[in-house]
Amino acid sequence: MKKVVVLTGAGISAESGIKTFRDMGGLWESYNIEDVASIDGWYRNKELVLNFYNSRRSELEFAKPNNGHLLLAELEKHCNVTIITQNVDNLHERAGSSNIIHLHGELTKVRCSITDDEVTDIGYKQIKIGDKSSKGHQLRPHIVWFGEAVPLINKAVEITQTADILIIVGTSMQVYPAASLIQYVQKNTPIYFVDPNPAIQSTDRITVIAEPASTGVKKVLQVIV
């Protein structure tokens, strides 16, 4: 079976009603990203950060996977698929995809704020100041914030290097190190880029489909399956 690596960003989940930071009407209009998505913001105001992710978790509970998520799950019937996602939601899992790398963490999980080695799935529950790990330290969202290392990036690079096909869906290609993964595919590996406002252009090896994930992914699958 062909090895297909899929890199997904906020654009695929936007069709499910999950707000992005960058789009008009997105989260940047209500929050300063440095306050809620950086390690410095956590140290400044833990309650603000916890409340922000509590709201995101509540939003996620009622969101549903869209056709883009469902089609990528369906692709597993035909190919060996690994999804590398910049998203912290669980819509790929709920769509049925089985092999997912969450580069930036997972919204439905928390971990100890000091040791980092105790990760717990809390579903859509709220976290508050005073909620502690078994080691007695404040719980924090299991999210990779600005100012923190991306622990799974090396694994993502290794998998990308083995890809027979790379599909990129709904990402601005502005967030690093995730955006650098495109550089690690073999030189003859075809790349498909799906986004209504694509950040790159078609070349002899890159096919750009300027559409939302729900329709663009379908067009890719019609070619590769």
Residues that are catalytic: 104
Residue 33 tokens, joined: 């990203």
Residue 32 CB: number of other CB atoms within 10 A? 12
Residue 108 tokens, joined: 């439905």
